[in-house]
Amino acid sequence: MGTPEFAVASLQALVNAGCTIVGVITAPDKPAGRGMKLTQSAVKKYAEEQGLHILQPEKLKNPDFITSLQALQADVQVVVAFRMLPEIVWSMPPMGTINVHGSLLPQYRGAAPINWAVINGEPFTGVTTFKLQHAIDTGNILLQDTIAIDADTTAGELHDTMKETGAALLVKTLTQLAAGIVTELNQSSIVNEAVLRHAPKIFTDTCRISWEQPASQIHNLIRGLSPYPGAFCLLNDKMLKIFRSKKEIVAHGLTPGTPQTDGKNFLKFACTDGFIQVLEMQLEGKKRMQTEEFLRGYRFA
């Protein structure tokens, strides 16, 4: 069960490992683009290439879908970047329903674990396989793998690393589960609520840059929201999304948010303890570009 490109890596790993996949459940085709043509999910495209049986339910509690799912007689269900499942679905297979989550649970439960790990400046994160239960991301942990986060790694780069790491961990998990050698770890036995960090959905206000913050914090926000949805500020009343940056820790007397540029090679904004130098950006109504290209066509007031 999955929808975006992130889930394709796991499905492909299961195919390559020789697993018997009795069905693929993904989102219904949706209109997209200027012509509003029906567009298939990334998972559906791959599943069709492999000749796999596909189900695309609008509602997961629909009796017809439940009957079709039961008819597959799956031993185990795998969920990667899908949607919340009702109990009648996740409790169906005898070996349970396995989820691949982009963090080292119980840390970063929620919808955007990759983004928040980077935004918070974590030096490492990871991927977890666990069994679904009622509360989101709280089921018994099966296996985990750690991933380092460099100081300039973006959420997009971490996403690409994690989808491959997660796919390999999923195959390992199912292999051990089938062999009966996985030891389940109850999250309640390791949770200290006081030190838990969460990963809620990203909203517009999350993406707005506050130049009154330290350079390191702003730099982490920019890379944690790159390439999507993108951290932004206003430049002459137009939205400027920043995708790559470099921090400079230096004393200055400028008001936070003041832009500095030579008009050719650099653009940077003052913050409380230095500057954020912009390396890649997109001004409202324009394409995404490097700083030098942007400055060739932009004139500051």
Q: Which residues are annotated as a binding site?
A: 103-106
The b-or-e profile of 283-292 (16+ CB within 10 A means b, else e) is beeeeebebe
Amino acid at 132: L
CA distance 110 to 107: 9
| Tokens representing residue 69 in the block | 């799912």
Is the sign of the CA dihedral 89, 90, 96, 99 positive or negative? positive
| Tokens representing residue 120 in the block | 């918070």
CA distance 124 to 117: 8
Residues in the chain: 301
- For tokens 């300039």, the residue is 152
54 closest CA partner among 17, 29, 89: 29
Residue positions in the annotated binding site for (6S)-5,6,7,8-tetrahydrofolate? Answer: 103-106
DSSP H helical ranges for the chain: 5-16, 42-49, 63-72, 87-90, 113-119, 155-179, 204-207, 215-224, 291-297
The number of angstroms, rounded, from the C-alpha of 257 to the middle of its chain's C-alpha atoms is 29
The b-or-e profile of 103-123 (16+ CB within 10 A means b, else e) is bbbbbbbbebbbbbbbbbebe
46 closest CA partner among 77, 75, 73, 12: 12
| Tokens representing residue 60 in the block | 């997961």
- The β-bridge relationship of strands 77-79 and 97-101 is parallel
